[in-house]
A and B are shown apart, each in its own frame.
Chain A
Amino acid sequence: GESVGLHLPTLSVQEGDNSIINCAYSNSASDYFIWYKQESGKGPQFIIDIRSNMDKRQGQRVTVLLNKTVKHLSLQIAATQPGDSAVYFCAETPSGNTPLVFGKGTRLSVIA
């Protein structure tokens, strides 16, 4: 079946550097994409979302890029901080009215 997946399972970055976390999706009907952050012992926390009619959306220190041509989603974190260390999941839903389908997750480790 179609699924959402991630290119890299782990990512280590120096504090202050920018981080890029990637995600590939295979469901061409996907309309809505979300990035979640999951810290140890906690549930997924909403970071930022983007709809398929956009290719870029910016939040505070985070930017999500969507490339529908190659079905690729990325999360950019500017000036990565130790508090950014977590597992990051991309998730998609075909219509925004159906349950989320999560990718496997990328662990981001920030080196002080």
Chain B
Amino acid sequence: EPEVTQTPSHQVTQMGQEVILRCVPISNHLYFYWYRQILGQKVEFLVSFYNNEISEKSEIFDDQFSVERPDGSNFTLKIRSTKLEDSAMYFCASSVIRGGTEAFFGQGTRLTVV
């Protein structure tokens, strides 16, 4: 069964450092997403990406965040200068159609900023 894969599963970084979270979406999917989940809280939308550009982003997705599809398979989320409050689970998702209906989620990357 096809699945979205994310690496690493856990990333610890010092405040102010840059991190890159990686995702390999399902191969025939066209829409890609990043969500985050602060411990014990709800899943929050960050950004959606289609046709090599951002299609929507939330207020959380400020200038410290960027996304990229560097090749035909990877989809990355970069945080330029991490803050303590960036600590969360980050989920990548992909879907065939726009909007995340029946989006498939990866297992997540736990980011810990110390």
Contact among A41, A42, A49, A104 for B102, CB-based, below 8 A: A49
Given A43-B4, A98-B99, A99-B56, A104-B105 contact (CB < 8 Å) = no
Interface size on A, residues (CB 8 A): 24
Which of B14-22, B36-44, B70-78 participates in binding chain A? Answer: B36-44
Say if the beta carbon of A44 comes within 8 Å of chain B: yes
Say if the beta carbon of B98 comes within 8 Å of chain A: yes
Interface residues of A (CB under 8 A from B): 32, 34, 36, 41-46, 49, 89, 91, 93, 95-105
Once the chains bind, are B102 and A103 in contact (CB under 8 Å)? no
Mask of B85-97 contacts with A, CB within 8 angstroms, 1/0 = 0000001010000
Min CB–CB distance A43 → chain B (angstroms): 3
Say if the beta carbon of B65 comes within 8 Å of chain A: no
Interchain CA distance A97-B105 in the complex, whole Å: 17
Given A43-B108, A104-B41, A95-B99 contact (CB < 8 Å) = yes
Interface residues of B (CB under 8 A from A): 4, 33, 35, 41-45, 48, 56, 58, 91, 93, 98-108
Once the chains bind, are A43 and B106 in contact (CB under 8 Å)? yes
**CB-defined contacts of B104 to chain A, threshold 8 Å:** 46
Once the chains bind, are B102 and A100 in contact (CB under 8 Å)? no
Between B33, B42, B93, B99, the greatest number of chain A beta carbons within 10 A of the residue's beta carbon is seen for B42
**CB-defined contacts of A100 to chain B, threshold 8 Å:** 35, 43, 45, 99-100, 103
Contact among B42, B91, B103 for A46, CB-based, below 8 A: B103
Contact among A32, A41, A101 for B101, CB-based, below 8 A: A32
